[in-house]
Amino acid sequence: MLNFPNDSLNTAQIIFQSHDQYQVIFADRSVHQATLAGRMQLADTLPLIGDFVSGQVYDQDKFLITTLLPRQTLLTRASNQQDQAIAANVTTVFITMSLNADFSTSRVERYLTLVWDSGATPVIVLTKTDLEPELLVQRQLELEAIAFGVPIITTTSTTPLVAREQLNAYLQPTTTAVFVGSSGVGKSTLLNILAAQQLQSTKAVRGGDDKGRHTTTARQLFYLPNGAALIDSPGIRGVGVASSTTTATAQSFPDITSLAQQCRFNDCQHEQEPGCAVQAAIANGELSAQRLADYRRLLRETEYSTMNSRQITAAKIKRMVGNKKNLRRR
């Protein structure tokens, strides 16, 4: 039996959704077509892939969804002014990146923020280590400098059994995992290795630019033999930075957050204010200037992603004026 939040025979999990058509799975792994009960169609919050629901079986094998059960986590992405919910109850996000063409620590920082914000736990996966093995140590060091205890695993499709073992360490029967990352980094390849069958077709990347083509079309959740769930969909794989809270950004930068607590001003922007502990740490080599720049950029990006253009301009002005005020407070 699968690990469900309760033992009720009326509890199911959404494994597929397209408009008002759903598929659900029961704890005994049987799969049913499902639809929403009338009053649920009018609800503010509609069931998403990963959600647990309760309802009734009818016509032998169909399922009528009547209640949405509480969510443990919610993965969202920013789309224009609004957050768009993309999956519920994800516990583990594999932030996937190849060690060559796709490598970017600032992208990992953005993903970390997104994951912390969702309530899930991140794991960084560095892929294609066979391609430029001489880069591996350097890449690991660069990641360790920003990961702050987030596990980093390395994989190559040339040793699939090793890759599977590395990933399986994070796939318990209570886990619901997703792979996110740029196109072509090897997410489908890893999913296939885990499932040990061709669940998703992988296509050769376009010549030269190492960018893949999106070969995955259906959004779906599937269970591995050990009871861990994986969600795979183009919408989830490509998530950019959601309009995250400042708190989540801070969680990705614990070094800066703890220094900032020692700044003289609560609203210190760590620029030229007197008594800035962050600038002091840069001056004595404890913190790199690049790290602060990354932090600022992410903070602004996440703040601005929830604003319209007039609000962004106002925020920029306020930021400038705020700094001058602190300078004068000397």
Ligand X SMILES: Nc1nc2c(ncn2[C@@H]2O[C@H](COP(=O)(O)OP(=O)(O)OP(=O)(O)O)[C@@H](O)[C@H]2O)c(=O)[nH]1
Residues belonging to the binding site for GTP are: 127-130, 181-189
Q: What distance in Å separates the CA atoms of residue 115 and residue 112, rounded to the nearest whole number?
A: 5
Of 114, 112, 55, 125, the C-alpha closest to 86 is: 114
User: Out of 268, 281, 282, 292, which residue is the one contacting Zn ion (CB under 5 A)?
Assistant: 268
Give least dist CB 325 to Zn ion, A. 14
Backbone angles phi, psi at 43, to 5 degrees: -65, 155
Which one of the spans 12-20, 149-157, 229-237, 265-273 is the region binding Zn ion (CB under 5 A)?
Answer: 265-273
Q: What distance in Å separates the CA atoms of residue 226 and residue 328, rounded to the nearest whole number?
A: 62
* 128 touches, from ligand X, Zn ion, none (C-beta below 5 to 8 Å by class): ligand X
> Smaller CB distance to Zn ion: residue 211 or 325?
325
Strand 52-58 and strand 62-68: the pairing is antiparallel
* 263 touches, from Zn ion, ligand X, none (C-beta below 5 to 8 Å by class): Zn ion
**Residue 270 interacts with Zn ion (CB under 5 A): yes or no:** yes
- Residue 189, classed as helix, strand or coil, is helix
Q: Known binding site for Zn(2+): residues? A: 263, 268, 270, 276
**Residue 263 interacts with Zn ion (CB under 5 A): yes or no:** yes
> What is the dihedral angle through the alpha carbons of 45, 51, 52, 55, rounded to the nearest 10 degrees?
50
* 185 touches, from ligand X, Zn ion, none (C-beta below 5 to 8 Å by class): ligand X
Half-sphere exposure of 200 (CA within 13 A, CB side): 28
CA distance to 103, 194, 229, 301, 302, per residue, from 84 (Å): 26, 28, 22, 17, 15
Which one of the spans 167-175, 205-213, 246-254, 287-295 is the region binding ligand X (CB under 6 A)?
Answer: 205-213
Task: Pick out residues in 77-136 that bind ligand X (CB under 6 A).
Answer: 127-128, 130-131
**Interface with Zn ion (CB under 5 A):** 263, 268, 270, 276, 278
**Interface with ligand X (CB under 6 A):** 127-128, 130-131, 156-157, 183-189, 202, 204-205, 212-216, 237
